[in-house]
Amino acid sequence: MSNWVEKIIPLGFLIFLGTVSLGAETIRLRVTAEQANIREKPDITSAILLQVQEGSLLEAERKEGEWYAVRVEQEGGVFVAGYVHESLVSVLEPPKPQEKAVPVLEKPAPEKPVQEKPEKIKKPQIIRPAPAVPPPQPEPRREHFSLCFWWGARYAQVGDLNAGADGLASYYAATLGAAAAGSVKALRLGYVAGGELRLPLGSGFYFAAGAEYYSNEASSTVSFGSAATQKFLTTPGVQALPVSLSILFFPVRFLNMRAGLEYSFVRCSYLYRLEKSDFWQKWKGQATSGNLGYHFGIGIDWRIFSHVSLVTDALYRRSTIKGFEGDGIYQESAGAEANIKGKLYFFQQATTGDQSVPLVFLREKAPTEPGVSDVREAELDLTGLSLRAGLKITF
């Protein structure tokens, strides 16, 4: 019996020494906070691997700054390695060599200079895919300026020039005492062609400067008598060059409204020719003038390519011109000829009975012959409508 005891005592002593030496290699810790976070790295912002409750015992392999490197055993014998902050645990010191190892009955008071607030375990969130966002559209190219080119038609009153041609046909019918066959065509509808420069002002407004060419001419033949041996031929004509400044407003992208001023440089002309069986006489003249008018209207701007648009508009135009000056010529088959330089006059010429007809002629001075009345300078009335269509090129 004594021999067995002698063998057991040294073996137990060796086990005791081994236990003491093993404890020296690890640091025993007790969790003093309500919950202690075991983090992936020694950093307060590092991911939390797990949480352990107050009173749990941990073993640390080493200390890195304010953090202990610990290994925590989970169910199934799996160890999780991580870091715990020193403010959440207290160190269980091993007994000194000269003292007996007795169980620790009281929990040592840990020093808690800074405690990390325990974080609650958040419930997993269901991550839903973000709604599909369409790719960003390229910003529209900024428009610097644009050029428009158009063609169209213009309706105008014309006024005195029409009245003078028709009045002279009536004068010959009265003086010749023969019924007139046919009528004088009035100047009404002519064509226009032009262009315009547009500059953007912002907020749908544009400034436009343009010019166009307007031309209108009508030839007529009136016969007198049943034999039609006497004829009257007339060809009044108008050419104008309106230069305009306008403001355009686009309430929507394709629709615009405009208003502006235009100055018209105008030239009017006439040709009167009376033919009899063996005699003819002719008056021919042209005169120029100009005046300021205005216009307003509505248009459509329809893009057909990236830099090309179809443009159309309808304008009401108000313009009355007088003060025409020019030169003319009178000729007849007998060889007589006379050059005339002066102003274009409108007047009433008496015929047979109490009737009178309007006439328009170039005269060096206002006519004062017998039978003449209501003398004034002739006026050309270009008031009317125009319709235009063309292309716009954007730069």
Residue 120 lies in a domain: no
Does the pLDDT of residue 59 top 50, yes or no?
A: yes
Instruction: Indicate if 73 and 174 belong to the same structural domain.
Output: no
Could you read off the pLDDT of 17-51 as tens digits, one per residue?
A: 344 344 446 888 899 988 889 998 998 888 888 88
Give dist(CA 382, CA 188) in Å, integer: 9
CATH number at residue 192: 2.40.160
Residue 179 lies in a domain: yes
Task: Determine the pLDDT at residue 261.
Answer: 98
Could you read off the pLDDT of 287-341 as tens digits, one per residue?
A: 999 999 999 999 999 999 989 999 999 999 999 999 999 999 999 999 999 999 9
Domain limits for position 160: 146-394
Instruction: Indicate if 181 and 61 belong to the same structural domain.
Output: no
Instruction: Indicate if 343 and 202 belong to the same structural domain.
Output: yes
Q: What is the mean pLDDT of the chain?
A: 85
Residue 218 lies in a domain: yes
Task: Determine the pLDDT at residue 152.
Answer: 98
Instruction: Indicate if 26 and 165 belong to the same structural domain.
Output: no
Cα separation of the two ends of the chain: 117
Instruction: Indicate if 150 and 266 belong to the same structural domain.
Output: yes
Q: Which residues are CB-contacts of 355 (< 8 A; sequence separation ≥ 6)?
A: 174
Three-state secondary structure of the chain: CHHHHHHHHHHHHHHHHHHHHHHHHCEEEEECCCEEEEECCCCCCCCEEEEEECCCEEEEEEEECCEEEEEEECCCCCEEEEEEEHHHEEEECCCCCCCCCCCCCCCCCCCCCCCCCCCCCCCCCCCCCCCCCCCCCCCCCCCCCEEEEEEEEEEEEEEHHHHHHHHHHHHHHHHHCCCEECCCCCCCEEEEEEEEEEEEEECCEEEEEEEEEEEEECCEEEEECCCCCEEEEECCEEEEEEEEEEEEEEEECCEEEEEEEEEEEEEEEEEEEEECCCCEEEEEEEEEEEEEEEEEEEEEEEECCCCEEEEEEEEEEECEEECCEEEEEEEECCCCEEEEEEEEEEEEEECCCCCEEEEEEEECCCCCCCCEEEEEECEEEEEEEEEEEEEEEEC
Instruction: Indicate if 158 and 85 belong to the same structural domain.
Output: no
Domain boundary among 92, 125, 155: 92
Residue 161 class from Cβ within 10 Å (0-12 exposed, 13-18 middle, 19+ buried)? buried
Radius of gyration of the chain (CA): 55
Could you read off the pLDDT of 121-149 as tens digits, one per residue?
A: 555 555 566 566 666 555 555 678 999 99
Instruction: Indicate if 150 and 84 belong to the same structural domain.
Output: no
Give dist(CA 295, CA 313) in Å, integer: 12
Instruction: Indicate if 151 and 84 belong to the same structural domain.
Output: no
Residue 269 lies in a domain: yes
CATH number at residue 53: 2.30.30.40
Instruction: Indicate if 88 and 212 belong to the same structural domain.
Output: no
Residue 132 lies in a domain: no
Residue 221 lies in a domain: yes
Instruction: Indicate if 196 and 281 belong to the same structural domain.
Output: yes
Instruction: Indicate if 65 and 210 belong to the same structural domain.
Output: no
Task: Determine the pLDDT at residue 234.
Answer: 97
Give dist(CA 383, CA 242) in Å, integer: 12
Instruction: Indicate if 262 and 379 belong to the same structural domain.
Output: yes
Residue 121 lies in a domain: no
Nearest CA-CA partner of 214 in 270, 165, 158: 158
Domains held by the chain: number: 2
Residue 30 lies in a domain: yes
